[in-house]
Structure 1
Amino acid sequence: MDAKADIAGPIILFDAECILCSANAQFVLTHDRKKRFRLAAMQGEVGSGLYRRFGIDPTNPDSIIVVDGDKMLRDSDAVLAIYAGLSWPWKALALFRLVPRVIRDPLYLFVARNRYRIFGKRKSCWLPSPDYRDRLL
């Protein structure tokens, strides 16, 4: 498999030191029955490379991103795309796309910028159980 095929999307890039972000990653792995998504920590080589590719500093990101080929979603659009890609009943949360982004994104960004203060930070990066390691880049 070549390097480009190896990072084919959709890939969720997340902060593996953030307790909220890690919990969301675990949630996705558990509820993504079709194994559609793969995950990459921003602290890892693949994750930091993809953040930089889209002009985001991987050492200080304020957003989760979803990368699918040359397309990138961020902020609340990324979160809603994740839920839309899961099975029912989680897919129903994608209805929040009807809420204008000017309302969704400030709320998302408040939580994202304060995630360590609100939810805490791990001393080391979270790693999934061996059952899911094939889905982590």
Structure 2
Amino acid sequence: MGPNSQINNLVLYDGVCRFCNSSVNFILNHERNQKLLFAPLQSDLGQSVLRQFELPKDYTNSLLFLSDEKLYSHSNAAFKIVSFLKMPWQIILILRFLPTSITDYFYNLIARHRYKLMGKTEACEIPAPENKGRFLE
């Protein structure tokens, strides 16, 4: 068991990426039952998870999703997160039946250009007060 084994439904994201922060806000606004937790990859918790799963400390290649001691990345993480969203957004889950090579290709295409799409911030954004307890930093 790793040091983060008690944490479930944790979304890890690039905290200085505006596209990633917008994605987190989208999730918060469309989530069904407020079961997801969030932490920037750059936070102490994010760094601890990266170490636990032997990923580089500067990893920002994808959103990560941690649950039941399993870490999901790329399109697999996105599908796990979408399963927590309200309808009609859950319709996206139909795409999980495509080969991972296809879904990861499109995920990586967006991820590669995310800074060009929306830029970077100097520091991780501060969550809205009503969501502050869901951010583990």
Q: 1:90 to 1:104 in 2, by over 3 A?
A: same
What residue number does 2:10 align with?
Answer: 11
Q: Where does residue 118 of structure 2 map in the other structure?
A: 119
Tell me the alpha carbon deviations over residues 9-46 of structure 1, each in whole angstroms, 9 at most, x when there is no partner.
11000011101100011111122231110001011111
Per-residue CA deviation, residues 27-71 of structure 1 (Å, 9 max, x unaligned), is 111222311100010111111111221122231321111000311
Q: Which runs of 5+ in 1 are unaligned?
A: none
Task: Tell me the residue number matched to 1:42.
Answer: 41
The DSSP-based 3-state class of the residue aligned with 1:85 is coil
1:105 maps to 2:104: yes
- In the TM superposition, what are the counterparts of 1:1-137 in structure 2 within 5 Å? 8-137=7-136
Taking the aligned partners of 1:4 and 1:105, their CA distance within structure 2 comes to: 26
Q: Could you tell me whether the CA contact under 8 Å between 1:84 and 1:92 is conserved in 2?
A: no
What is the CA–CA distance in structure 2 between the aligned matches of 1:104 and 1:124, rounded to whole Å? Answer: 30
Residue 92 of structure 1 and its aligned partner are, at CA, apart by 1.4
Measured in 1, the distance between the counterparts of 2:31 and 2:42 equals: 23
- Could you tell me which runs of 5 or more consecutive residues in structure 2 were left unpaired when the two chains were aligned: none
Runs of 4+ in 1 over 2 A off after TM superposition: none
CA contact (8 A) 2:40 2:46 kept: yes
Contact residue 13 and residue 60 of structure 2 kept, 8 A = no
- Write 1 or 2 for the structure with the bigger share of helix: 1
SS in structure 2 at match of 1:72: strand
**Counterpart of 1:73 in 2: which secondary structure?**
strand
What do residues 64-99 of structure 1 show as CA deviations (whole Å, max 9, x unaligned)?
Answer: 110003111110011111111212111111111022
Given the two structures, how large is their TM-score scaled by the length of structure 1?
A: 0.89
RMSD: 1.7
Question: What SS is found at the alignment partner of 2:38?
Answer: strand
The DSSP-based 3-state class of the residue aligned with 2:83 is: helix
Identity of aligned residues (%): 28
Q: TM-score, normalised by structure 2?
A: 0.89
Q: CA deviation at 1:4?
A: 5.2
